[in-house]
Amino acid sequence: MSVAKVIFEHMPHLRRYARALSGSQPVGDAAVEALLERLIAEPALFDFDEEPLEESFRLFSLVWNARAPVTGICSVSTLPDQRIEAIGPVARQVFLLTAVEGFTPGQASRILDLPEEKVGRLIAEAGRVISAQVASKVAIIEDEPMIAMDLESILSSLGHQVVGPARTHSEAVALAHAEHPGLVLADIRLADGSSGLDAVNEILENCATPVIFITAYPESLLTGERPEPTFLISKPFRAETVKALVSQALFFDEQARPAQPRVA
């Protein structure tokens, strides 16, 4: 397969990434065109022994980072665009590669030619910036007290206001109705044998909020059929995983706003 054919196959991914980096589709497209021009002149740059999508992003990053820096988001029209603008340029690339394009930290390390430990620090940096922008009221639906306490500690460390926990379907629905959370973290199997999934579906009938499912039974959700949850964490979980997905869920929620302080 020719280099041009590989790049054209992955063009939608590259254009999406470039647009998110620059905040402007024309600016992003110009960067992708620069990549094509570079590869036409130097086709040997492309390493066919590597995974093609990852290699395409590696070479795009070489071209992007050699260009004059984009100092700000152009034609900002969405809240995610504004939030990306607040992240430093390298952390922005790491965040988009891992949170949007689905690369692992190890793959992002190769794409950007950075040590993997630095990639981890940049992911954390991006998470802190995002959390500061979208600190929200988060409802916990969880029947195990120790897990609920762990989640509350993790969320509070990010600056979120935690409400709950709710331990049953009825408690969860009542909690959401009373508190109007900006994010819901929900277990699947609750204390009285009721379903966290059913509770979430009822909540979403009256409240458009992102949901992260945290469960020891991911197979009950990952059936290969639609709809499947966008955000899913398997138990036992790592604090870093929870932080990353919470930041990601709120980052891409157009309605996410900082939580209002409680009135005493």
Residue range(s) defining the domain that contains residue 224 = 135-251
Boundary residue ending a domain (116, 132, 148): 132
Same domain, 7 and 122: yes
Q: What is the mean pLDDT of residues 144-150?
A: 95
Q: Please indicate, yes or no, if residue 108 is contained in any of the structural domains.
A: yes
pLDDT at 114: 95
Q: Please indicate, yes or no, if residue 263 is contained in any of the structural domains.
A: no
**pLDDT band with cut points at 50, 70 and 90 for residue 78:** low
Helix/strand/coil (H, E, C) string of the chain? CCHHHHHHHCHHHHHHHHHHHHCCHHHHHHHHHHHHHHHHHCHHHCCCCCCHHHHHHHHHHHHHHHCCCCCCCCCCCCHHHHHHHCCCHHHHHHHHHHHHCCCCHHHHHHHHCCCHHHHHHHHHHHHHHHHHHHCCEEEEECCCHHHHHHHHHHHHHCCCEEEEEECCHHHHHHHHHHHCCCEEEECCECCCCCEHHHHHHHHHCCCCCCEEEEECCHHHCCCCCCCCCCCEEECCCCHHHHHHHHHHHHHCCCCCCCCCCCCC
What is the domain count for the chain? 2
Same domain, 74 and 38: yes
pLDDT at 80: 55
Same domain, 53 and 76: yes
- Whole-model pTM: value is 0.59
CATH number at residue 227: 3.40.50.2300
